[in-house]
Amino acid sequence: MPSLYPLYVDLSGREVLVVGGGAVAARKVRGLRDSGARITVVAPQACPAMEEAAREVGANVLRRPYSCADIRGKWLAIAATDDPDLNRAVADDAAGARVFCNVVDRPDLCSFQVPARLRRGLLQVAVSTGGASPALARRIHKQLEAAYGEAYAPLLDAMTELRRHFRDKYPDDRARRKQLLESFLDSPAPDLLVKDGDLEAFRSAVEQWRSR
């Protein structure tokens, strides 16, 4: 199998199909929660977990068997049933319609794979083993959770604010903006938040950097 090309995708307003009504399909639907995608679920029956997940994300649940027509107009599809033949059919239909498709536990049928993902606000770190070892991906994910705590969310928010501020202050001096942002990261300011957990001291330090 060729090496995967890492890619973050904007699904806002795009049509996404999930085939399957079980617990695995429900996890896939929940994984799309913050994507802004327009989700359609197709399954003869939906388990309680799927019912709850669909309500959370506002998914449209069609309680009937999958049809090849379901793939039309979709941007992305996920096959998450316990029927290998049906999963393959979804993958084949998606390939014919040029729709990205993920088939649970069958990396050989996937045109994309969903990595183990750590999220801290705007920060996202994805881990993939190319389908070779999901268990190892989960273990690395846990290590990342310990290394990158919740403090990285407000840190990145502050970096976004500073970047915008310096862009306005030095619109024609990209080198100056880059130097300031890198110097901020190398300063004691981030550790006030990441190591000490002192949000107020961190905000005060950010204000001081805005004057540079």
Distance CA 148, CA 211 (A): 28
Share of the chain above pLDDT 70, in %: 99
Query: 15 pLDDT band (50/70/90 cuts)?
Result: very high
In the predicted structure, residue 1 carries a pLDDT above the cut 80? no
> What is the arithmetic mean of pLDDT over 118-132?
89
> What is the arithmetic mean of pLDDT over 176-192?
96
> What is the arithmetic mean of pLDDT over 96-108?
95
Query: 146 pLDDT band (50/70/90 cuts)?
Result: very high
Which residues does 209 contact at the CB level (< 8 Å), separation at least 6?
Answer: 162, 180, 184, 187, 189
What tokens appear for 84 in the block? 């290998």
Could you report how far apart the first and last alpha carbons of the chain are, in Å? Answer: 50
Q: For residues 149 and 194, is the Cβ–Cβ distance under 8 A?
A: yes
pLDDT value at residue 131: 79
The topology under which CATH files domain 15-114 is Rossmann fold (3.40.50)
- Lowest mean pLDDT segment, chosen from 2-16, 30-44, 146-160: 2-16
Residue 58 has φ and ψ, to the nearest 5°, of 70, 30
pLDDT value at residue 3: 80
Question: Strand locations in 29-184, DSSP E?
Answer: 38-42, 60-62, 76-79, 100-103, 116-120, 123-127
